[in-house]
Structure 1
Amino acid sequence: MLSICIPVYRYDVRPLVAELLRQAEEFPGEIEILVYDDASPDDGDWGREELRQTAGIRYVELSENLGRAAIRNKMARDANNKYLLMMDSDGWPNKGFLLTYFKMLWQLEAKNKFDFLFVGGRHYKKSPPASKYSLHWHYGHERESKPATIRNENRFLGFQSNNFLTTKSILLRHPFPEEAEGYGHEDTQWAQSLPKEEFWFFHLENPVIHLGLEPNDVFLSKQRQAIRNLALLKQQNLHLRTRLIDLVERYPRLTALAKHLPEKWMTNYLASRSRPNLLVLDLLKLKWWHTEKK
């Protein structure tokens, strides 16, 4: 019935696997759990030996790194069941996580609706972390942790690939775009390029807690990569929309201002404050966008 697909890179996924196996015992349908390691380097204890011996999962160690899009496409092809739950390795499910998704599947099968996309959402821990992780945590609370009612107001703009349920047939017909390299926005393009008449798309309240906070400097580096990827994907898909692209198109004077602001000052400010003003991050992204669009 359901295949849970978890790509892993330099992350110890053993606690998540144990929790999903526990919840699977209460799940009324058949479940398989796929854990694919995307060629993690030997620079940490990622639990490989224990995962190789864990019953109830299909654990695969890839010999070369495929990247965020290609590994999801591979897992979709390899999955045995018609329903796919795609999760990030650093998301922690709530106690009724799998049962909530089962109830949606049961309702859809009763109505003979077979192509769909459900997005469960993402939350962050309430208590602030150490200061070196404050930017990612603050950004997550302000920009990513939204209730389903808000996310449904603009369904395709707010898609997040860290926790979504769909059918294998959709991902086989419409795989994730593999053109971009590194981190960022391949999931944005994927969701917005799907033929909307083919399936039902809905955000629901079934969030995971995001555990994998990045240090401030790493978070900024990944945001920089994401802007580079976004510029590339925008060239290939002129209808692509994000919050940043909307800012560029609606407020050209803001973009003109951003390109003159010193990047070092903005990065130092964002990396050093416990609650930075995210407008500065927006301005920094606009500056990067201007650089990429030259």
Structure 2
Amino acid sequence: MNCELSYFILISICIPIYNFNVLSLVETLTLQGKEINQPFEIICIDDHSSDFFRKINAPIETMDNIQFISLEKNIGRSKIRNMFIDISKFDKLLFIDCDYSVSSKMFLKNYLAISNFDVIYGGRKHHPIKPKKSNEKLRWKYGLKVEDQSFDYRLNNPYLSFRSNNFLIKKSVFKIIKFDESFISYGHEDTLLALELQKRNIKIHQIDNSVYHDGIEENAEFLLKTRTAIKNLSKIESKKYNINSIKLINTYLRIKKLNLDKLLLLISKNGMTIIEKQLLSSWPSLKLFNLYKLLFYIREQNNV
């Protein structure tokens, strides 16, 4: 590497894209990148989005200091993130999901200030204002009440709280672990990455540097993604990781110990149908959502 560059902290900002408008995110990161007065790059890889979103994001292709790659077919959430290893020029990879926005003017500087750690997670938040559309309330409510974790909680649970939406990792570390490319569909690919980091005793450093989740799906789509994610969770279990700390699995194991799993299996099909109607309403219950996930997980465990 050029000796002049060795004085800088060199960062590659990696944005995997799928069916979302990233113009504002890219513009914000570009402005912050220019303010740090040192080399950086932004890489956007589009995982075969619809023509509608490809047209919206087309201006990015002509922006300075940005590499935009559009894939001819969809390759999935894990494989697309692994692609950044070979494409990026620098050793610090900052991953940001396409459906998030940066609110802090110090976002990049906050990461650069502590970039010597192997892995850094910045956190996420949801906007506190209720969505105008009633069919988005389940996703919003779950994000606000469950996914948004306090900084103290993340400090005490660094692996359990890790998500792939907003993190910095050394390329040398990422080459060793990577995302499991058998995970093509939505859900828990980041859970598996965190388990692998824990297994290898690679620490996740927590920083209070959250981004806001803007991609609130409609209730029906969120339920579909939830079922897909639970199927992936079953795949993680088959890889012999210790995942008892995951709340859904811990609940299932306690129920199984009490011999209640077969009873819940019997009522699961009709029960899920009834619960789903409530979850698709304008006043979804998170308690019923947790029960819905448990019933689906029990069905997965019994190959139903």
TM-score, normalised to structure 1's length?
0.91
Query: What is the CA deviation profile of residues 170-228 of structure 1, one whole-angstrom value per residue up to 9, with x for unaligned ones?
Result: 11111101112311111101111125565331221100000000000000000010011
Q: Does 1:97 align with 2:107?
A: yes
CA distance in 1, matches of 2:106, 2:263: 47
In the TM superposition, 1:39-188 aligns within 5 A as: 39-44=48-53, 46-93=55-102, 94-105=104-115, 108=116, 116-129=118-131, 130-188=133-191
Which of residues 1, 12, 15 in structure 2 aligns to 1:3? 12
Q: Tell me if the contact between 1:10 and 1:46 (Cα under 8 Å) persists in the aligned partners.
A: no
Query: What is the CA deviation profile of residues 25-52 of structure 1, one whole-angstrom value per residue up to 9, with x for unaligned ones?
Result: 1124321000000111324454243122
The alignment yields a C-alpha RMSD, in angstroms, of: 1.7
CA distance in 2, matches of 1:104, 1:173: 21
CA distance in 1, matches of 2:159, 2:51: 37
CA distance in 1, matches of 2:75, 2:281: 34
Query: CA 1:256 to 1:137, structure 2 compared with 1: closer, same or farther past 3 Å?
Result: farther
CA distance in 2, matches of 1:45, 1:287: 38
Which of residues 237, 241, 255 in structure 2 aligns to 1:251? 255
Q: Percent identity?
A: 33
CA distance in 1, matches of 2:156, 2:79: 29
Which of residues 15, 20, 24 in structure 1 aligns to 2:29? 20
CA distance in 1, matches of 2:42, 2:71: 16
Q: Tell me if the contact between 2:15 and 2:44 (Cα under 8 Å) persists in the aligned partners.
A: yes
1:111 corresponds to: none
Query: CA 1:65 to 1:95, structure 2 compared with 1: closer, same or farther past 3 Å?
Result: same
Q: Tell me if the contact between 1:2 and 1:83 (Cα under 8 Å) persists in the aligned partners.
A: yes
CA distance in 1, matches of 2:194, 2:84: 18
1:285 corresponds to: 293
Q: Tell me if the contact between 2:76 and 2:183 (Cα under 8 Å) persists in the aligned partners.
A: no
1:38 corresponds to: 47
Query: What is the CA deviation profile of residues 58-116 of structure 1, one whole-angstrom value per residue up to 9, with x for unaligned ones?
Result: 100011211000000011221111101011001111221111111112xx3xxxxxx51
* C-alpha displacement of 1:256: 4.9
CA distance in 1, matches of 2:107, 2:190: 22
CA distance in 2, matches of 1:211, 1:48: 16
Query: CA 1:134 to 1:258, structure 2 compared with 1: closer, same or farther past 3 Å?
Result: farther
Moved more, 35-44 or 72-81: 35-44
* C-alpha displacement of 1:238: 3.6
DSSP-derived class of the 1:47 partner: helix
2:220 corresponds to: 217
* C-alpha displacement of 1:240: 2.9
Aligned AA for 1:205? D
DSSP-derived class of the 1:279 partner: helix
Moved more, 240-249 or 78-87: 240-249
| Matched residue count | 285
CA distance in 1, matches of 2:183, 2:200: 26
In structure 2, runs of 5+ residues without a counterpart are 1-9
Moved more, 46-55 or 216-225: 46-55
In structure 1, runs of 5+ residues without a counterpart are 109-114
CA distance in 2, matches of 1:203, 1:256: 40
Query: CA 1:98 to 1:44, structure 2 compared with 1: closer, same or farther past 3 Å?
Result: closer
